[in-house]
Structure 1
Amino acid sequence: MANLKDTYYWVYVLQSKKDGKKYTGYTQNLPLRFEAHQKGKVPSTKHRRPFELIYFEGCLNKEDALKREKYLKSYYGKMYLGNRLKSYFTGQVVE
């Protein structure tokens, strides 16, 4: 199996521990990108550190990742994430 960080594009959602707001993005190297956010190297998020990675999914190519990122930033995408992460946001275990 190929190295996952080299073969997938990752769409991810971060939640700021400072203000509680979410940030959605995509990358080909999720650990490196998360580290960049945490160290303040990403201009759009540097004042909202620290972050928690609350969601990610892999896409087979950049075009799909861009479409998925755009969707997750939309009203319906935010609704999807709210439902998908319901137990995380409420602290309840869903069985």
Structure 2
Amino acid sequence: MFSVYVVYNRIYNKIYIGYTSDLEARLKRHNGILKNKKKSFTSKNKGKWELIYSEQSSTRKDAIKREKELKSYRGREFIKSKIK
């Protein structure tokens, strides 16, 4: 099972969209609780990354497809509606 997720950093007003097989561990990496193997977009932008949206996909292929949909213009508009 894979999760497609969106995290948001209020300090920098940045959005990150991704997918993972372990959402809890991935959120800890975004927030610097667990070490990343390399310097990532979210580790460069310090501050708390909040989970604002997630959904489950049964396959990696479906998760990648949905991630791309969320990164499209229409998907970004949907995500912006989730930010409070």
TM bucket by the smaller chain? 0.7 to 0.9
Equivalent of residue 17 in structure 2, options 11, 24, 43: 24
| Structure 2 unaligned blocks of 5 or more | none
Give TM-score, length-normalised by structure 2.
Answer: 0.84
Q: Calculate the aligned-residue CA RMSD, in Å.
A: 1.6
- Relative to its length, the structure with more strand (as a share) is 2
Distance 1:56 1:29 in 2: 12
Query: Matched residues in 2 for 1:36 and 1:9: separation?
Result: 17
> What percent identity do the matched residue pairs reach?
35
C-alpha separation between the residues in 1 aligned to 2:80 and 2:25?
26
Larger RCO: Structure 1 or Structure 2 (Cα < 8 Å, ≥ 6 residues apart)? 2
Structure 1 unaligned residues grouped into runs of 5+: 1-7, 90-95
Taking structure 1 as the reference length, the TM-score comes to 0.75
Determine which structure has the larger helix proportion and give its number: 1
Pairing 1:14-93 to 2, within 5 Å after superposition: 14-39=7-32, 41=36, 43-49=40-46, 50-83=48-81, 85=82, 88-89=83-84
Which moves more between the two structures, 35-44 or 63-72?
35-44
Q: Identify if the C-alpha distance between structure 1 residues 81 and 47 changes in structure 2 by more than 3 Å, giving closer, same or farther.
A: same
Q: Which moved more, 1:72-81 or 1:33-42?
A: 33-42
In 1: Cα distance, 2:78 partner to 2:29 partner: 27
